[in-house]
Structure 1
């Protein structure tokens, strides 16, 4: 009898839980639908699920992404509401519209009049950059032109090629000399960080920055999509402390470079930091404040090294996992070396341009790894997208990963196949690893150059031995093996 009542009680509690869960989730959805009707919107919200009150769908998002199955999140929406390409949702503390069809994505990303940057509070705080975000469209264009001048164009890339090459060759030699396995992702972050510091801050005082950074950028990155609680023990609090530490490290470099400028000692080749010190704020005609300069430098250093390092790690892993692709990529590099004149002992930009297959390897890596699962915008006005309303103030998530893994645009999307890019003209909006429109990543050419140089030397002279080939993958905050890709870098040639 007692066992019977235990089963009855358990079943009753389970039934009540299910009922309450369904009721609360539906009530949350009704609340947002009613709000739209109450304000007399002419169009309905897209289909979708607003999740639980307050937390929305964050639990299911974290579950799918941390387990290494990020596509489950969107696939569940497809299965439940059909492939409409637009869904209502609630993520990162805000009601949101998820978009995962190329034309709609491109429309949102290129419409600066009706959509602005709309990142979660945690990212806004940790990656704050007033001169690039809290300004008018005209001011943004002005700053963007000025601060991207040192890193785009043939002349700029040619100037940095030698610096990157030295860092790459020295790093590979050092890694191959280590007797114990290394965490490849951490090592690629070191390589990428050295390169980006050299490029943005010059070589005169960058050793101070490199030696004192420690794990600050890792802590900063781990707090990007965290709950913004400024309480010890939470990732966001740790990330804020890391950002404050970074600001203290960068400040002396800014002071020294300003002093050099006053004394006329900055030289002919100006780095990004020199240009920032000369910039006048269009709004008040004054020089940028130190706080603004530091924000820009930290933002560029963070974005530049984190994304490049992740792409670099995955490109090496994919090549290692696919010997036939590695062989083809290596043969291309060997052919470039055969045609080089005897007096040339360094890479040239012309040789980089000849690396057609390697460029396809990089693009395929960016498609498969999906370093940024989404780009965030916020609706400035009520917008009609495909017959659905995007209410003013709602966040819009351009879910690039859903497009990159869609068999409609990429047959057998789970297959790593660089040859799919041979003579392939991607439909507008189907390849968005670095964004689009006025917010397109300004350092995309520089990042590809850095990855190409590293892979050139790796393919010719080294190989990777994975310690845990079947290591599980997590996708929070970005895609990576949970062991950070534990491996040995082995030298296979002395050429």
Structure 2
């Protein structure tokens, strides 16, 4: 009796397991069958890969790898399974997609606006709201780019902002080092980039306003690449609410600036946008301008903030790189003429090693994992069909870590750029073609200035140096890089010391009798 009972239990469990496996396998292949059936009469096959589950596609796998801090494993698993074909099919962000990893193919996609139109996921389009931007004609887009470029890519314009950027960086670093508690470095980097970009784009330096809009931008950024589920508790819902809140905050500023403009006086991007009137009669209204400003500030401040944070993290993790970077900055300071205490463009051009550090950071972390396009017709790429209406994702993260282009790609090594002959299209952190980021020069200037002062005068002491990383929506430690920023004070003839928060110290060196006098009040001095 017991034997029969065990047999039936085992048989039932086996049947349930087999049924689950068959149903699961059947359902999982529905997407594959559906799209293959649609293309059954086409001359070329779809690329290798899989299209995942119905409706959700491969998003669960994508979220799993990116939220675990190992985003490279997502594409590496695909490559190891299907070989190095450079093109793979998938189903991401609600659409069938072709992932492109090969540099030549990426360049052909990003430079062909007729075949591959600008097209981001529904969540991104809805959160940014400005639908007209996604449907700009080529002519309208070029006008839009020229407006932004006049403020962010022209050296004369950037030089006008240099001193104000410098003041902001110095002020924030001093504030960080005076705090009695660790700070969330990423959050503070966002505050810095906010203050810079809001001042340049909107002419506002009101810290209260900047603080108000900060959290809203964070919620919007978190919702850009998520499932568009408009229900309480979901990131998409929070992003939509944040966007509406931002629009209400920005609207009074737009109305005020419109009233204040006199005689074509153009002080910032907002003033210029308010006076746009192209030859075809298109003139953006207040709602257009509000949504454009929100989109540009979101795009401009997030990547810059992450770039500054990761640069500091990599410098802190690699003392030999920090040492070399500091030596370069000290040489620049020594060569400064007269009583000038301000950075100038000529000095920034001399920061060769710092430039390599920034480029290596952009390559290593790939702040933008992919770009988004959509086919306007059926396309044959290397013998594979990309049907009309499919998303095409140039996967920058895979290309920047490809051992074909970069030896030891997982190593953070700025010196690789000394004699690195970059193949065209293998390093494009700001995109390429007509959609090349017009704010890249401004972002780099911010990072240059910040790192210049940090490297010379400060060090970072992380609370959780081994903190796990998430890559949704962008690469960052889950504690936002909780750390203390410590000011380093060096006195000639003395051992360099780190003066911690709340320290008031006067360090004197009386060389005559080789005595060292330390007059310290409420002290905490640590030798380096």
- Map of 1:82 onto structure 2: 83
- The answer to whether the Cα contact below 8 Å between 1:86 and 1:100 also exists between their aligned partners in 2 is yes
In structure 1, which of residues 271, 276, 284 is the aligned counterpart of residue 273 of structure 2?
276
User: What is the deviation of 1:127?
Assistant: 2.0
- Map of 1:322 onto structure 2: 318
* Partner Cα separation in structure 2 for residue 477 and residue 115 of structure 1: 24
- Map of 1:309 onto structure 2: 305
Q: Deviations over 1:27-68 (max 9, x none)?
A: 32121111012xx32211111101111111111111111111
1:28 partnered with 2:28: no
1:252 partnered with 2:255: no
* Partner Cα separation in structure 2 for residue 336 and residue 392 of structure 1: 54
1:15 partnered with 2:18: yes
User: What is the deviation of 1:280?
Assistant: 1.4
- Map of 1:201 onto structure 2: 202
* Partner Cα separation in structure 1 for residue 39 and residue 21 of structure 2: 28
* Partner Cα separation in structure 2 for residue 370 and residue 166 of structure 1: 29
User: What is the deviation of 1:76?
Assistant: 1.4
TM-score scaled by length of structure 1:
0.95
1:389 partnered with 2:392: no
- The answer to whether the Cα contact below 8 Å between 2:89 and 2:97 also exists between their aligned partners in 1 is yes
SS of residue in 1 equivalent to 2:247:
helix
- The answer to whether the Cα contact below 8 Å between 1:460 and 1:493 also exists between their aligned partners in 2 is no
User: What is the deviation of 1:116?
Assistant: 0.9
- Map of 1:140 onto structure 2: 141
Give me the CA root mean square deviation: 1.6
SS of residue in 2 equivalent to 1:492:
strand
SS of residue in 2 equivalent to 1:406:
coil
1:212 partnered with 2:212: yes
User: What is the deviation of 1:3?
Assistant: 5.6
1:337 partnered with 2:333: yes
Shift in alpha-carbon separation, 1:491–1:33, aligned structure 2, 3 A: same
TM-score scaled by length of structure 2:
0.90
- Map of 2:365 onto structure 1: 369
In structure 1, which of residues 431, 440, 463 is the aligned counterpart of residue 427 of structure 2?
431
* Partner Cα separation in structure 2 for residue 97 and residue 153 of structure 1: 36
SS of residue in 2 equivalent to 1:375:
coil
Shift in alpha-carbon separation, 1:214–1:149, aligned structure 2, 3 A: closer
- Map of 1:63 onto structure 2: 64
- The answer to whether the Cα contact below 8 Å between 1:169 and 1:457 also exists between their aligned partners in 2 is yes
* Partner Cα separation in structure 1 for residue 299 and residue 121 of structure 2: 16
* Partner Cα separation in structure 1 for residue 219 and residue 11 of structure 2: 48
- The answer to whether the Cα contact below 8 Å between 1:373 and 1:399 also exists between their aligned partners in 2 is yes
- Map of 1:297 onto structure 2: 293
- Map of 1:465 onto structure 2: 461
SS of residue in 1 equivalent to 2:456:
helix
- The answer to whether the Cα contact below 8 Å between 1:384 and 1:390 also exists between their aligned partners in 2 is yes
Shift in alpha-carbon separation, 1:6–1:383, aligned structure 2, 3 A: same
- Structure number, greater radius of gyration: 2
* Partner Cα separation in structure 1 for residue 416 and residue 14 of structure 2: 53
Moved more, 423-432 or 383-392: 423-432
User: What is the deviation of 1:128?
Assistant: 3.4
Larger RCO (CA under 8 A, 6+ residues apart): 1
Moved more, 472-481 or 125-134: 125-134
- Map of 1:48 onto structure 2: 49
5+ residue gaps, structure 1, are: none
- Map of 2:192 onto structure 1: 191
Shift in alpha-carbon separation, 1:180–1:280, aligned structure 2, 3 A: same
* Partner Cα separation in structure 1 for residue 376 and residue 73 of structure 2: 30
- Map of 2:113 onto structure 1: 112
* Partner Cα separation in structure 1 for residue 94 and residue 178 of structure 2: 47
Moved more, 418-427 or 174-183: 418-427
- Map of 2:239 onto structure 1: 239
User: What is the deviation of 1:25?
Assistant: 2.2
* Partner Cα separation in structure 2 for residue 219 and residue 305 of structure 1: 14
- The answer to whether the Cα contact below 8 Å between 1:150 and 1:271 also exists between their aligned partners in 2 is yes
5+ residue gaps, structure 2, are: 492-528
User: What is the deviation of 1:286?
Assistant: 4.3
SS of residue in 2 equivalent to 1:215:
helix
Shift in alpha-carbon separation, 1:471–1:274, aligned structure 2, 3 A: same
- Map of 1:479 onto structure 2: 475
* Partner Cα separation in structure 2 for residue 345 and residue 253 of structure 1: 35
- Map of 2:376 onto structure 1: 380
1:119-138 equivalent positions in 2, closer than 5 A: 119-130=120-131, 132-138=133-139
* Partner Cα separation in structure 1 for residue 306 and residue 374 of structure 2: 27
* Partner Cα separation in structure 2 for residue 282 and residue 21 of structure 1: 58
Shift in alpha-carbon separation, 1:334–1:110, aligned structure 2, 3 A: same
More helix by share: 1
User: What is the deviation of 1:106?
Assistant: 0.6
How many residues align? The count is 488
- Map of 1:445 onto structure 2: 441
SS of residue in 1 equivalent to 2:392:
strand
- The answer to whether the Cα contact below 8 Å between 2:194 and 2:214 also exists between their aligned partners in 1 is no
